[in-house]
Chains A and B, each alone.
Chain A
């Protein structure tokens, strides 16, 4: 039974954006299984639907048709509360432009997911631990504006792992970073995959970074082409 092993399972996903004048098929009949502990990358030209796919996996958006299972659990028909709980427990997001809350310091940013669910243990200690893992425990009381891009993205990664989610979704995590900092971030993601057994789905434009992952999905115009 291979589906037992799949932490993410998408079947026949379609996503159509309708506005008054145009209809965009952002995703067309996507079928995707990701095994527990896999690290995969998604590639493709801009506008081919990579972010849309990640948002659907991340339960931030709903597909027009098709079914999603996360950790063996179908997500259709879940309430806002249940979806929020699932995002909180099983998913961690890393965005291209970091999206730290500018009015909160580093520690409070990292603690954010712990405010929205029942997590055992001291929140501050957990946040500190996550910051140690990304090598930024000495920047705890800095504000986001005082960080470099690479540091900000590491804080964002600490935030993504603080609630101990099984799945990390990273949409062009190195897109706003120079190649040296990008490599640092990639190392971090690989160690999260290798050492902590987290499943990682990431979008990248960098061939080299993609080659280091278990699997590469190529997208074009809303379809998986490879």
Chain B
């Protein structure tokens, strides 16, 4: 459902529109439209009521590190008792209007014309600005930068560590390499042997690490999300499709590790394979 569709077809009293992810959670694998939810007990009537799902919309994010927010659209009579301390009005622009031009023109106009009694327009922000502001307020941006720096540091360390370990390891094996060469192994064959050995080791290490991470993820409830006080599953920060997420992230990490390990082992392996077998097998 688009915003236009919602606004052009007012919702009935017992009708709601859900975000797709929320619908997926309540009606997994089924078409949620036409299904019913049971409401909380109504304070006035003391009864529950069935509410029909009539449409689905995409979720909304207000910073980049969250998963889409759950969204419920329902009809409600304006609540006159609520005090208007701070109200937000969302404007949606035609696609052909430049957002910055609009804000530049709208701000002075709104300051002059859009006030009533004690109410006035305090600020006009684009949605990008809202996201940026939230990310700043929650320090998400700086946290991300820190994560990227740590990640890069880790990858560089991995490459240097591999080169170092592998260098020592191949130096200890020059005799073996000389033997293999004298019985017909080509240089390329030696390089392939050494690199594939380190790839196998890295794979074994990765599998162990990945299983540890999986344990942690399950124990910490990464696949369940966050449940609030009312027992409502808000799934604020963690992931919906945990299986998929786990597989994709694992594959990505594995790829990075393998590329780093191959980078780290290739140079020492080529050097070791070029050692003259005569020098490697000197008897004295």
Question: Which of A's residues lie within 8 Å of B, judged by CB?
Answer: 51, 55, 58, 60-61, 80-81, 84-85, 87-89, 93, 95-97, 99-101, 103, 112-113, 115-117, 159, 163, 171-172, 175
Of all chain A residues, which has the CB nearest B277? A60
Bound Cα distance A173, B107 (Å): 96
Whether A80 touches B283, Cβ cut-off 8 Å, given contacts A61-B276, A93-B182, A101-B176, is no
| Cβ B283 vs Cβ A88 within 8 A | no
B184 contacts A by Cβ under 8 Å: yes
Bound Cα distance A85, B189 (Å): 12
Cβ contacts A to B, 26 pairs, < 8 Å: A51-B283, A60-B276, A60-B277, A60-B278, A80-B186, A80-B187, A84-B184, A85-B184, A87-B183, A88-B184, A95-B281, A95-B283, A99-B175, A99-B281, A101-B179, A101-B180, A112-B180, A113-B184, A116-B180, A116-B184, A116-B186, A116-B189, A159-B183, A163-B183, A171-B283, A172-B283
Of all chain B residues, which has the CB nearest A56? B278
The listed residue (A96, A103, A117, A163) touching B283 by CB distance below 8 A is A96
How distant is A79 from chain B, measured CB to nearest CB, in Å? 9
Known A61-B278, A81-B188, A116-B189; 9 more pairs at CB < 8 Å: A80-B187, A87-B184, A97-B283, A99-B178, A100-B179, A113-B184, A116-B184, A116-B186, A175-B283
With a CB–CB cut-off of 8 A, which chain A residues contact B186? 80-81, 84, 116
Question: Which of B's residues lie within 8 Å of A, judged by CB?
Answer: 175-176, 178-189, 276-278, 281, 283
With a CB–CB cut-off of 8 A, which chain A residues contact B283? 51, 95-97, 171-172, 175
With a CB–CB cut-off of 8 A, which chain A residues contact B276? 60-61
Bound Cα distance A116, B190 (Å): 10
How distant is B217 from chain A, measured CB to nearest CB, in Å? 37
With a CB–CB cut-off of 8 A, which chain A residues contact B187? 80
How distant is A201 from chain B, measured CB to nearest CB, in Å? 15
With a CB–CB cut-off of 8 A, which chain B residues contact A116? 180, 183-186, 189
Bound Cα distance A88, B189 (Å): 13
With a CB–CB cut-off of 8 A, which chain A residues contact B184? 84-85, 87-89, 113, 116-117, 163
Bound Cα distance A163, B183 (Å): 9
How distant is A160 from chain B, measured CB to nearest CB, in Å? 8
The listed residue (A51, A58, A115, A163) touching B182 by CB distance below 8 A is A58
Of all chain A residues, which has the CB nearest B186? A84
Of all chain A residues, which has the CB nearest B183? A113
With a CB–CB cut-off of 8 A, which chain B residues contact A88? 183-184
The listed residue (B176, B179, B185) touching A84 by CB distance below 8 A is B185
Of all chain B residues, which has the CB nearest A93? B182
Bound Cα distance A104, B79 (Å): 82
How distant is B201 from chain A, measured CB to nearest CB, in Å? 14
